[in-house]
Amino acid sequence: MNILIMGIAGSGKGTMAEFIKEHYKIPHISSGEMFRESIRNKTPLGLLAKQYIDHGLLVPDDVTIQMVRDRIMQPDCDHGYLLDGFPRTMIQTGAFEKLIDDTNRELDKVINLNVGFEHLEKRITGRRLCKDCGSIYNIHNHRPKVEGVCDVCGGSLYQRSDDTTQQLEIRIKEYEHLTKPVIDFYIGKGDVIQIDASKEVPEVWNELKTNLEEIDDH
Ligand code: AMP
């Protein structure tokens, strides 16, 4: 199954991606996580990306396309993949559509997580991630058992540098301006599962899983 998951910052994309990855045993390719890893490793790509990410801006298309293209061509994506956070602009979409067409990696489904803006700030500023395994928590409604420590692997939790109210406002504007046309493009192709992601995590996953299983049966 080749899946693309889309949703604004705070829509729960990362959390749902973890569930999907486990359920279908497919690699999870998150462009944001790839950038964060490059930043942690202080690679030239990481140093470049950091200048944009820290300001809530999108990383330029050319480097982003190159990075995802190299990843999606790896053999572990031969039998399915879950793409998260890419494509985010129409230029990326054009390059991606050509790539999947040329390499028989066409999408089976696109998931769009819908959340009202009023939910986003609490989700974003309360979000904490595990440095080691990437598990996602929230200080408001999904706390770890021990403060600052990951329940899954015992790693320490951190807050993303772009998870601030100010950066969120910029990210919302970028999303509306650059990413909404991508969603409209896939809606036009008739591929999109629309999910109400303002509910609690188990409910959202239930709805999503039901929708994906319906496709699987066809
Ligand atoms: P995410 O983890 O998906 O929220 O991404 C975090 C940040 O990484 C974004 O706010 C962008 O600065 C950058 N980023 C991730 N994916 C892309 C992309 N497809 N195009 C450009 N920038 C991206």
Domain 2-116+166-217 of CATH type 3.40.50.300 = yes
Q: Based on the residue annotation, tell me whether 13 is a catalytic residue of this protein.
A: yes
Select from 11, 13, 30, 58 the residue to mutate for testing ligand 1; criterion: most ligand atoms less than 8 Å from CB: 58
> pTM for this one?
0.89
d(CA 42, CA 57): 19
Alpha helices, DSSP H only, in 77-164?
90-102, 117-125
pLDDT at 194: 96
d(CA 123, CA 172): 14
Q: Based on the residue annotation, tell me whether 143 is a catalytic residue of this protein.
A: no
Instruction: Establish whether residue 8 lines the binding site of ligand 1, counting it when its CB lies within 6 angstroms of any ligand atom.
Output: no
Q: Where in the chain is the domain with CATH 3.40.50.300?
A: 2-116+166-217
Q: Based on the residue annotation, tell me whether 128 is a catalytic residue of this protein.
A: no
Cα 53 to ligand 1 centre (Å): 7
Cα 93 to ligand 1 centre (Å): 14
Q: What are the tens digits of pLDDT across the range 143-180?
A: 999 999 999 999 999 999 889 999 899 999 999 999 99
User: From start to end of the chain, where are the E strands?
Assistant: 2-7, 28-30, 81-84, 109-114, 127-130, 136-138, 157-158, 192-196
Task: Please report how many Cα atoms fall inside a 13 Å half-sphere around the Cα of residue 188, on the Cβ side.
Answer: 6
Task: Find out whether 13 and 7 touch, Cβ atoms under 8 Å.
Answer: yes
